[in-house]
Amino acid sequence: MPLLMTILFSILPISELRGAIPYAVYHGFSIPLAGLISVAANACVPLIAFLFLESVHKLFYRFGPYRKFFDRFVEKARKKVHAQMEKYGYWGLLLFVAVPLPVTGAWTGALGAWVLGLSYKKAFFSIAGGVVIAGIIVSLLVALWGVGTQTIFFKTMH
């Protein structure tokens, strides 16, 4: 059960690696194994997100209010980040995902790449690279912080 929960936490938009790795370590996984499982599952997020966004978007885009909102939203988003995208490109996406803070994970990176119309293949590799870096950072923080301090957080989950 801890293995399935680790994978689930890894692919959930809120927890991602920040929740999955400490959870797995608390439940007896070694830090390298927890990191490996969590990174592998979290690296699948862009594939899931791109597939979901494309299918749902095509379905909803048929409706005028959604189309109007979406087109306006995308245009505004593209104008807002155009300069940064031109300057940093896919490396910027990688670094954005690599920072293990709320709203900087694989889901947000995939959504941003999709909204900006980036190449899915290049975005996937940038996001996956960011996931690997974030996984290393979170694993190091768990090792430095110590598993005992997470007991308070996970007590409510049993």
Q: What is the pLDDT of residues 20-55, one digit of tens each?
A: 999 999 999 999 999 999 999 999 999 999 998 889
**Please, which contacts does 50-54 make with residues 24 or more away whose CB atoms are closer than 8 Å?**
50/110, 50/114, 50/120, 50/124, 53/110, 53/111, 53/114, 54/114
For the chain, the domain total comes to 1
Mean pLDDT score, 109-113: 91
Mean pLDDT score, 86-101: 91
The band of 147, judged by pLDDT with boundaries at 50, 70 and 90, is low
Highest mean pLDDT among 27-36, 63-72, 79-88, 106-115: 27-36
Task: Give the domain range for residue 7.
Answer: 2-155
Judged by average pLDDT, the poorest of 44-48, 67-71, 84-88 is 84-88
- Model pLDDT, residue 156: 46
